[in-house]
Structure formats: C-alpha cells, structure tokens
Structure 1
Amino acid sequence: MATLGFLHGGSFSQLATLADPAVQAWRPRSVYLPEAGEADFDGLDTLIVSDRLHPGLLAKAAPALLTVAERGGTVVVLGENDITGWLPGLEACEPAETNFWWWRTGDDNGVRRTHEGHEAWDFLSERAVRWHYHGLLKPPAGATPLVHTVREQDGDPERDQVLLYEDLVSTPGRLIVAAMDPVYHHGSRFMPGATQLLYGLLRWTG
C-alpha cells in the first residue's frame, strides 16, 4: 500500500473525515497544517490536501508539500482552497456560483464527465463528480480535464470551465486538482456524492 498523507487544519469536518474507519483503512499520516514542516512530507507517495484550508498557511507550506509530486508522487488538491500563485501549471481559478440544491429542484447543474476512457472512471462514479463546485479551473496545456461544466459556456469547456483534472506535465509526478470540497461535506455528513468522490480518490491514488 502506498504511503498516504492527509494535510488538514484541524477543523471538525477534516478531523471527522480523518477518523472515518474507511479512510483509516488507508493508514493516512495526519499532517497538521499549522505545524507542518518538510519532514512531514518525507516518504509520502500520495498527499491529500484537504479543502478549506487557511490560505496563508497553505501557501507557506506549498514548497514542502509539492516535494511529494517533485519526487514522482501524487498530490490531490481539493477545493475550496486558494491555489492560484503556488500550484504549478494552474493558469486560473475563477469563482463560480454554487447551487447547493439543484438535485431537489430538478435543475441540470451542467456538470459533465469527459475523457471517458481515462482510468479515473474505473474508480469515480457519475454521482461522485456531479454535485456542486466552487470554482472554474484552467489547467495547463497537456493536462487531462476529467469534469467540466457546460453552463454559461465560453470557448473550450475542456480548458476554461474545468472542475477536475489530472496534470502529468507540470511536475515529475502527478497533480489531481478539484473544484469540489468532499472532505468538508463528508465530514459534515452533508452532500450526496461527496463521500463517493472522497473514497473514489483514495482508491484511484492509493
């Protein structure tokens, strides 16, 4: 089993997620962001960067956490986080209106899967990626968009309105970046699909 790290800020939802027996089965190393140093990321094959972390502390820890990808490992960066300015390859992250209740009103929230032959879909269900999001990502050229939105579409949705992508070009390793915040919603027990996304990411990258 790969060595997994779980970067968190000690919030109730992050601690509840970390304590989940299904997550503990992966034997994650708890990395507390306010006290994190370079040694905390040594030897990790995969690092989950929890959503909703303190932006200043996250930017400060970025050089250390990115060493996981620089060594050839995987870094999974979840939203809602401020990732512009320190995440390699990311060209932009634009704010987006969040519709929390679309599945109750019958609306189409515009979320679509892409690159259906990608290995990610062996681990992620439709429900896992189709709930809500907190931003529109513009990944680097050469990255693989996996989820995008067709709402208010301008230009190429696979470049300009991406919600989840895999980046194998910006570091020697792999960056998986999402505009969704599954740790918060799984730990809060609020949002269909969040738990499926979290567990699916663990299976995919573990």
Structure 2
Amino acid sequence: MADVTPNGAKRIAYIHWGNSWQLRSFQDFNHYVDDLIYIHDLPRFDLSAYAAVIMPDAMDAAAPLPHRQQLNAYLKDGGFLVVSLQGHADWLDIPGLEWTPGNCRDWLWWTKGEQLEVSFTQPLHPITDSIPLSHMSWHWGGSYNVPEGARSILEIDGGRGSLFLDFPSLPGGGRLLLSTLDPHSHNGQRFMPATTRFLQSFYPWLNRELGIDRPLNNRFTYLQCSHVPSEWHPAWIEESLERAGFKTSFAPLYQLGPELLEKTDTLYIPSSHDEFFLKSRSDELLAFLARGGNLVICAEPCQPWLPFMAPFHAVSPRPFTNIKVRVRNDRFGIFADLGEDFDGWEGIFGQYARGWSDPPPGAIWLTDVGPEGDPKPADWIWQYTTTTTGRGGYVFMHNGDNMTRYPDRGPKKEALVANVCLALRRLSMGELLI
C-alpha cells in the first residue's frame, strides 16, 4: 500500500462533514495532519496514498454510508483508520463488533471531586504512555464489546464495555482505532479542556506511531528593511531567539520572494519598511500564510499591503496615560514575565505603540492603548485560514515601533520578540489554541 508522497513523506488525511467543530479542530492540529477531505468528495481521492485516515466525531451518521466500500477497502488493503463515532460505525466490516448505548452515571461528576467510572484496561496499551487517563476522562457515547482481534484501551468500570479499541492487525494488515469518545466536537466548541488535552497528546502519538517526524517550525527570518545599524541587524536577537530554540537568519527586504519564504517558518517585519514593495509581494506572503507560515508585523499602515490589514489610527497623547500600553489578554504568555514597564524604551512611553489598526474578525486583542474608557488594540493575534485546505499560519500584528527595542531592561531583557515567536510556534503545533 502506498502511504508516501513522491518526496517520501508519509501523509495523514482528515475526513470532515463540514461541521464547524471538526474544521476548527483540524485548524488547531493541522501541523500533524496533511489533507482535509470533505466526505462528499471521498470518491475523488485515492485513500491508499495515506498512512492514516482520520474520521472525527461530530460526523452525521448517514454521511459515511455511501462510502463504506471505499473506507473498508482502505482497511483491507493495509490502511490505518481512526474512527471516533458514537455507535454509528456499523458500516465497518468488523465481525462481532457490537455497540451498547449508555453514558456516565453523573454528568456533573467533575464538579463533585469524584472520579469518573473509567479505567485503563489491563495490561496497559502502549498508547497510555503518551495519553494519561485524565486526558481520556469526560463522557462517552455508548460502549463496544471487545471482539476477537481487538484490544481494549479504556473501559467502563465493572465490565460495562470498552470506550477505546485498537484492532492492531486486521486481515490484509490494516489497523483500526475505534472510540466512542468525542474529543473533536468539544475541542472545536472550546468546551471541556480534557478533550483538548486528549488531542494534544493523541496527534503527536499518532505521528510517532507512523514514524512521521514533523518539523519544529523553528526557522526565524528577520527581514532587513532599514540600513540603520540597530534596525538592520539587532545585536542581541540571535542569542535571544537561540535560547528559545529558533534558528535565526537575516535577509534584505528586496530579496523577499518564494525562495526566501520557503526557508522560514516565522517572518519578522520591522516597523520601517517599504509598503509599496510589500504590497507587490502580497500574493507570496498570503501563500506563505496558507502553507502554515507565521508573520510578525510591526507596522503603522498608511497603505495596508495585505488584505486583512487596516490603516493605522493614532490615539491622543494627552493625557500621557493614553500611550501607556496595558496588557488586556495574555492567554499566550507573551507579556507575563516582562514586567509592567515592558512598553517603555529607555523609560519613554509612547514609542512602543501610539495607536492601533482594526483587527480582522476572530483576532485576539492582546494589549490596550488609548483612554481607559475607550481602549484600542495595540497588539493582536489572528489565524489566517484558507477555505480550500483549512490550513493557515498566524499573524502577530504590533501597531507600533520595532519590538526589538522592548523591553530594554528588567530580568527578561530582550525577551519580547522571542516570547511572541514561541507563542506563534506553540499555536502552530496545537500546544496553544486561539
């Protein structure tokens, strides 16, 4: 069975039904999955090209039925199928497999300091080395028996059935992971943290199990836009980013193009730059984002050069407290260790950011500038996604000066840019969610 691309890389497919929770979960973990396939388009795809195929929960029960022959043929030809359906998997050709409806005794068990009535099946399945019981504990949609050739991973106490089964060696060499847990739907709803922890553990495990080694998204490129020495090549930036695990390179602005973008994961654009030139490269920058690249943009846009950017607006500098930037939302841990004066360069407020630009829908507003009663977003993060592939990298927009200046003192001196890049990398790899 062919499970590699022409360049030798194994691939994983993710089948969806158009459900928003499925799509959002794919966006969260697309670092570990290659192709998003709409279930009604399945006949156009050769599933033998994939080392694994994932069918997430929140699937309409009728949607797989027209494709049962194709999906079972994939298993019989040696494929690895991951199915999270709650009792709606009778289309699978697995002799003796039976589903029984049921759920946890108490939906509010987690509010009462109680343990859920589930445990790992003994002897322990190897997956439990990577996914602890707490990452599999919420509720479920019925249970399965354990037919011949299956191995239970997680079971209801008292012998009431299995919630997670591994069929490690089906006839023809295929493998099936079958679960009545529903992690994708709840993660996609941003409800029930255990489901997110499950997927954060499961997807790296699946890639290791298949022998797929994904890149770490640690290539950082500083785009050199101004020949002022401190702007062209900040003296400290390599050391700061190296401590954070990044490989740093520098490239002149007018070398920006597909070849340069292919060699980086995070592109940093300082605040003084040629907007006309960057607009001429907008298609290439969007393609970079579409493949999962990240952008860190320092800008006060006059002529916005990407379609999601907006013109810069300054706030009134009087009273001076208007230009004291305040942290609004630090869910990504960017500002937590920088101190309250992170926005002051040599003790001067107002250079970090003097205004804002309107963020696109779905962006996370991180810092405030302007009056306390009418704050504006000085910094925001947003995920760019394409409608065709569901993939996309992240944009950190800083509406102000070059962040290489900040903070200029304190225990975490020169850590701001590294913190931003760490947050983007963790978002890209599903370790954080937007």
**Range class of TM-score, shorter chain:** 0.7 to 0.9
Give per-residue Cα distances to partners, 1:144-183, cap 9 Å, x unaligned.
1010011xx3xxx2xx510101012434211001110111
What is the aligned partner in structure 2 of residue 129 from structure 1? 136
What is the aligned partner in structure 2 of residue 104 from structure 1? 111
Deviation at 1:115, TM superposition (A): 3.3
Q: Secondary structure in 2 aligned to 1:25?
A: helix
What is the aligned partner in structure 2 of residue 190 from structure 1? 191
The structure having more radius of gyration, on CA atoms, is 2
**1:53 alignment partner, one of 59, 62, 70:** 59
Deviation at 1:7, TM superposition (A): 0.8
Q: For this pair of structures, how many residues does the alignment match? A: 197
Deviation at 1:40, TM superposition (A): 4.6
Deviation at 1:111, TM superposition (A): 0.7
Q: Secondary structure in 1 aligned to 2:193?
A: coil
Deviation at 1:108, TM superposition (A): 3.1
Q: Quick one: distance in 2 between partners of 1:73 and 1:170?
A: 10
Deviation at 1:143, TM superposition (A): 1.1
Kept after mapping to 2: 8 A contact 1:89/1:170: no
Q: Quick one: distance in 2 between partners of 1:31 and 1:199?
A: 21
Q: Secondary structure in 1 aligned to 2:25?
A: helix
Deviation at 1:110, TM superposition (A): 0.6
Greater share of residues in helix: 1
Q: Secondary structure in 2 aligned to 1:202?
A: helix
Structure 1 position 2 matched with structure 2 position 10: yes
What is the aligned partner in structure 2 of residue 13 from structure 1? 21
Q: Quick one: distance in 2 between partners of 1:115 and 1:67?
A: 31
Q: Quick one: distance in 2 between partners of 1:59 and 1:131?
A: 28
Q: Quick one: distance in 2 between partners of 1:40 and 1:17?
A: 23
Q: What does residue range 77-156 of structure 1 map to in structure 2 within 5 Å?
A: 77-80=83-86, 82-89=88-95, 91-98=97-104, 99-150=106-157, 153=158
Q: Quick one: distance in 2 between partners of 1:168 and 1:77?
A: 14
Kept after mapping to 1: 8 A contact 2:124/2:153: no
Kept after mapping to 2: 8 A contact 1:131/1:192: no
Q: Quick one: distance in 1 between partners of 2:125 and 2:156?
A: 18
What is the aligned partner in structure 2 of residue 179 from structure 1? 180
Higher relative contact order (CA 8 A, sep 6+): 1
Give per-residue Cα distances to partners, 1:96-122, cap 9 Å, x unaligned.
134443211233321101235432112
> What is the identity, as a one-letter code, of the residue corresponding to 1:115?
Q
> What is the identity, as a one-letter code, of the residue corresponding to 1:139?
V
Q: Quick one: distance in 1 between partners of 2:149 and 2:67?
A: 26
**1:36 alignment partner, one of 29, 42, 47:** 42
Which residues of structure 1 form unaligned runs of 5+?
Answer: none
Kept after mapping to 1: 8 A contact 2:14/2:33: no
What is the aligned partner in structure 2 of residue 166 from structure 1? 166
Identity of aligned residues (%): 22
Kept after mapping to 2: 8 A contact 1:45/1:68: no
Kindly report the root-mean-square deviation, in angstroms, between the aligned alpha carbons of the 2 structures.
2.0
Kept after mapping to 2: 8 A contact 1:13/1:183: yes
Which aligned segments of 4 or more residues in structure 1 are displaced greater than 6 angstroms? none
Q: Which stretch shifts more, 128-137 or 32-41?
A: 32-41
Which residues of structure 2 form unaligned runs of 5+?
Answer: 1-8, 208-434
Instruction: Give the TM-score normalised by the residue count of structure 1.
Output: 0.86
Kept after mapping to 2: 8 A contact 1:84/1:90: no
Deviation at 1:92, TM superposition (A): 0.7
Kept after mapping to 2: 8 A contact 1:185/1:194: yes
Q: Which stretch shifts more, 90-99 or 27-36?
A: 90-99
Instruction: Give the TM-score normalised by the residue count of structure 2.
Output: 0.43
Deviation at 1:3, TM superposition (A): 0.9
